[in-house]
């Protein structure tokens, strides 16, 4: 079995997580890793939203899947568009990791001095920072997690914000503050590792048994709402669903780019989730998209 992945340290670490779990299920299967460069890897001097947003890190992997050059692609789910490439399917989701964002160094958002230079590559994070701390100076930052940390240490930024899951999976013990997800709402699918296969393939049928149903329930709700809103990474949307016993709790926010407007929706629902209720939630969030 050939596993396609990006070549960043985080992508490779997540691929190793998948392979380790795969071998628990299929100890006799041989596995080969194939590194695939993507648009998001090659173009690092422009904001992610200018590259088409979601899909910039997965499009080339999808092409390899459809062409049969790889059997499996391992992605961060938050990098994937809600509408999958034709001929591929989201076969399995591994148990979800931390969903929160983290701020480096270890200082609370409220205690950052006015005018501090904060680096982020996400329009969602930027809008939330502007909403909570309009006195900060926000700067774009690209590069993998170690590169961003190096730029922070070099003094190019006073603080940076990134996904906590990346720090955990890379084993980086960098001083940081975990941003409260109730206040700083995560991205759709944040913390989840996606295993994508060719639609209807033998590999897909085999790997499907690795799917983690609690994670599936959470992220399918998040992605359904995003799909109904028609949002991408160029729109400041935060969506977080989490299992609560037999039910699921939903929290969603849509912000204006300047952070001055923030529409927030919370809902408790039972499982399985009623699609009519999901549409109702999306309709309640939709007016936020009309604010520039």
- How far apart are the C-alpha atoms of 34 and 71, rounded to whole Å? 10
Task: Please indicate whether residue 173 or residue 17 has the higher confidence score (pLDDT).
Answer: 17
Tell me whether residue 162 is in a domain: yes
- Count Cβ atoms within 10 A of the Cβ of residue 178 and give its class: 0-12 exposed, 13-18 middle, 19 or more buried: middle
Q: Which residues pair with 170 in a beta bridge?
A: none
Domain total in the chain: 1
Tell me whether residue 204 is in a domain: no
79 is catalytic: yes
Summarised one tens digit per residue, pLDDT across range 46-100 is: 554 544 554 666 888 999 999 999 999 999 999 898 999 999 999 999 999 999 9
Would you state the structure tokens that stand for residue 216, as one six-digit string?
A: 């599936």
Tell me whether residue 230 is in a domain: no
Q: Which residues pair with 198 in a beta bridge?
A: 88
Task: Tell me the pTM.
Answer: 0.90
Tell me whether residue 283 is in a domain: no
Q: What is the CATH number of the domain that holds 115?
A: 3.40.190.10
Tell me whether residue 165 is in a domain: yes
Q: Which of 62, 79, 101, 158 is catalytic?
A: 79
pLDDT number for residue 234: 72
Q: Which structural domain, as residue segments, surrounds residue 118? A: 101-178
- How far apart are the C-alpha atoms of 197 and 127, rounded to whole Å? 34
Tell me whether residue 62 is in a domain: no
Tell me whether residue 156 is in a domain: yes
Summarised one tens digit per residue, pLDDT across range 188-244 is: 999 999 999 999 999 999 999 999 999 999 999 999 999 999 865 578 999 999 999
Tell me whether residue 153 is in a domain: yes
């Amino acid at each position: 079995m050939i596993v396609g992945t990006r070549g960043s340290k985080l992508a490779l670490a997540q691929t190793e997580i998948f392979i380790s779990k795969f071998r628990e299920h299929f100890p006799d299967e041989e596995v080969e890793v194939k590194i695939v460069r993507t648009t998001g890897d090659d173009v690092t001097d422009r904001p992610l939203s200018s590259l088409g947003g979601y899909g910039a890190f997965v499009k080339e992997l999808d092409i390899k899947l459809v062409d049969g050059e790889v059997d499996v692609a391992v992605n961060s789910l938050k990098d994937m568009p809600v509408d999958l490439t034709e001929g591929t399917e989201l076969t399995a989701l591994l148990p979800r990791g931390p969903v929160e964002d983290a701020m480096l160094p270890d200082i609370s958002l409220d205690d950052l001095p006015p005018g501090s230079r904060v680096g982020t590559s996400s329009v969602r994070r930027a809008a939330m920072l502007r909403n909570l701390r309009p006195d900060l100076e926000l700067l774009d930052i690209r590069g993998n997690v170690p590169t961003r940390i190096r730029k922070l240490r070099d003094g190019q930024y006073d603080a940076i914000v990134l996904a906590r899951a990346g720090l955990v999976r890379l084993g980086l013990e960098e001083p940081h503050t975990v941003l409260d997800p109730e206040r700083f709402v995560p991205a759709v699918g944040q913390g989840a590792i996606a295993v994508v296969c060719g639609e209807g393939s033998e590999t897909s049928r085999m790997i499907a048994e690795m799917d983690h149903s609690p994670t599936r329930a959470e992220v399918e709700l998040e992605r359904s709402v995003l799909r109904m809103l028609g949002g991408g990474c160029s729109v400041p949307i935060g969506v977080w669903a989490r299992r609560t016993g037999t039910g699921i709790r939903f929290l969603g926010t849509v912000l204006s780019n300047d952070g001055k407007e923030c529409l927030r929706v919370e809902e408790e629902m039972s499982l399985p989730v009623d699609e009519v209720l999901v549409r109702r939630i999306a309709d309640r969030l939709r007016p936020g998209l009309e604010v520039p």
